[in-house]
Amino acid sequence: MNKIDVKDVNFYYGDFHALKGVSMQIKEKSVVAFIGPSGCGKSTFLRLFNRMNDLIPNTRMEGQILIDNEDIYAKGVPVDELRKNVGMVFQRPNPFPKTIFENVAYGLRVNGIKDNEFIRHRVEETLKGAALWDEVKDKLKESAFALSGGQQQRLCIARAMAVSPSILLMDEPASALDPISTAKVEELIHELKKDYTIVIVTHNMQQAARVSDKTAYFYLGEMIEFDETKKIFTNPAQISTQNYITGRFG
């Protein structure tokens, strides 16, 4: 079943045509990676799935994006609910200036959950899900800033998971991390795809090859090729894709 259905999307920053006629279907509980040179539109495209581009002035989108068959740009769509369902993790870990516990609990509290026992249970559940529980269980009341970069990023993933999204968007989630932390985040993505649909933007082609089921290659606002990751990295259909992944270009 298609979790996300993108139909002929064009996106503009003012007069600049940033995304050109992009269509794709993303299956439920799969990992899709977006690759391409800087400025090709992959992060812009990613942000369309939770309407983060709405926060940027003088932008407009044409086309349709359906999540669970519902048009997320239809009039009256509650954007806050959308962003609960479509969580996001950014390049630089951005924990709140709160305790480890409160970072994860915050999303639940602002959504009106007052049952402390439920909150405690959910915090533990998502920290375990983010493969962080064992490292932080004895210091939940410490500041999140006391954690390492890799731990902070996994905390941000747990924070996104706490409000039970069905989709996780990750914009270069490991590019600011050391290799060991990167490996932990990649292992986490591999585990999480059993329960979530994950879309990841990455400059690291080897990372895209390692973690994703399908890969989309973008160039100058166009989606050049979208296929099984194995196919993209063994025998891409487009010469442009091949030139990029072999390093002949980009």
Partner 1 sequence: MVKFIESELVQLKKEVDEMWTLVYNQLDRASEAVLTLNKELAQQVIVREKRVNAFELKIDSDVEDIIALYNPVAVDLRFVLAMLKINTDLERLGDFAEGIARFVVKCNEPALDPELLKELRLEEMFAQVLSMLETAKKALNEESLELSTSVFAKDNLVDEINSEVSVKLADYITKNPESMLLCLNLISVFRKLERSGDHINNLAEEIVFYIDAKVLKHQGKTDEGYLSQI
* Between 130 and 209, CB nearer to partner 1: 209
Only segment of 64-72, 102-110, 114-122, 228-236 that touches partner 1 (CB under 8 A):
228-236
Q: Which of 72, 229, 241, 244 binds partner 1 (CB under 8 A)?
A: 229
CA distances 133 to 71, 184, 196, Å, are 36, 13, 19
Instruction: By CB under 8 A, tell whether 187 contacts partner 1.
Output: yes
Q: C-beta of 34: minimal distance to partner 1 in Å?
A: 17
Question: Which tokens in the block code for residue 33?
Answer: 């990676």
Of 45-53, 109-117, 135-143, 184-192: span binding partner 1 (CB under 8 A): 184-192
Contact 130, 154 (CB under 8 A): yes
User: How many alpha carbons fall within 13 Å on the CB side of residue 153?
Assistant: 24
Site membership for partner 1, residue 227 (CB under 8 A) = no
Three-class DSSP category at 21 = strand
Q: CA quadruple 99, 104, 110, 113: dihedral positive or negative?
A: negative
Dig out the tokens for 129 from the structure. 């899900």
Q: Is 210 in the site for partner 1 (CB under 8 A)?
A: yes
Beta bridge partners of 225: 217
Among 38, 58, 69, 234, binds partner 1 (CB under 8 A): 234
Which residues partner with 151 through β-bridges?
none
Does 60 contact partner 1 by CB under 8 A?
A: no
Rounded to a whole number of angstroms, the minimum distance from the CB of residue 191 to partner 1 is 9
186 binds partner 1 (CB under 8 A): yes
* Structural contact between residues 247 and 241, judged by C-beta atoms closer than 8 angstroms: no
| Contacts to partner 1 from residues 71-110, by CB under 8 A | none
DSSP-derived letter for residue 131 is T
Nearer to partner 1 by Cβ, of 122 and 210: the residue is: 210
| 213 is a contact residue toward partner 1 (CB under 8 A) | no
Find, among 33, 26, 56, the residue nearest to 44 by Cα: 56
Residue placing its CB nearer to partner 1 in the complex, 55 or 180:
180
Q: What is the rounded distance in angstroms from the CA atom of residue 193 to the CA atom of residue 26?
A: 13
Give the interface segment with partner 1, choosing from 17-25, 96-104, 112-120, 186-194 (CB under 8 A). 186-194
Backbone angles phi, psi at 114, to 5 degrees: -115, -15
Q: Which is nearer to partner 1, 116 or 206 (CB)?
A: 206
Number of amino acids touching partner 1 (CB under 8 A):
11
Q: Which residues of this chain interact with partner 1, rule CB under 8 A? A: 183, 186-187, 190, 206, 209-210, 229-230, 233-234
